[in-house]
Amino acid sequence: MNRLVTAFIAMGLIAATNASAQPARAPAPARTVKSTAVPVPRTTFIQTMDSEFRKMDANKNNIVTRIEIEQFQRAASAVEAQSRVRALFAQLDTDRSGHLSPAEFGKMAATPPPPNAAPVLGQADLNRDGTITLVEYRTVKLANFDRMDTDKDGIVSVAEMKAAGLVR
């Protein structure tokens, strides 16, 4: 379930990141959680949300700055780019020799997108001071959780996730 909750939080960050006006980029495909979704209790959501905040808070002062967001995004983009390159290599290595011809290797060029803290700051920097406190981060994320928790039982059920468009 932790993996699902992490994906749930990540979708919020992805949505915030994709919401920026980045030039000459095709819109990202809609990301949905597969039908293996399970209800998410509010307490689990808070724990996961706080964990994500701590991952961005490099100096552990409970404030996330633009630089920390960009560093986090760079690291996440690098991991994602490496994963895509490995998948592309496996796809291109049709004879499974573990080697690619120069022409095949040339097709592997994959550069991660530049970091852009503006969407995250725009969403969560409530007082517009250029930093995000844990309180600001929680306020924004919990408002989204509470919006989806339509029956107000403290758990976002699979049905509520479907209603919010997170799962099919």
pLDDT for the residue numbered 28: 47
Q: Tell which residue, 3, 83, 111, has the closest CA to residue 48.
A: 3
pLDDT tens digit at each of 168 positions of the chain: 444 444 444 445 444 433 333 344 444 445 554 568 999 999 999 999 999 999 999 999 999 999 999 999 999 999 999 998 788 778 888 778 888 877 777 776 667 889 999 999 999 999 999 999 999 999 999 999 999 999 999 999 999 999 999 888
Question: Amino acid identity, residue 52?
Answer: E
H-helix or E-strand spanning residue 132 = strand 131-133
Rounded to whole angstroms, how far apart are CA atoms 168 and 165? 7
Domain spanning 2-19+30-163: which CATH class is it, in words?
mainly alpha
Q: Where are the domains of the chain?
A: 2-19+30-163
Q: How far, in Å, CA of 23 to CA of 14, rounded?
A: 17
For the full predicted model, state whether its pTM sits above 0.75: no
Q: What sign results for the dihedral spanned by CA atoms 75, 71, 14, 20?
A: negative
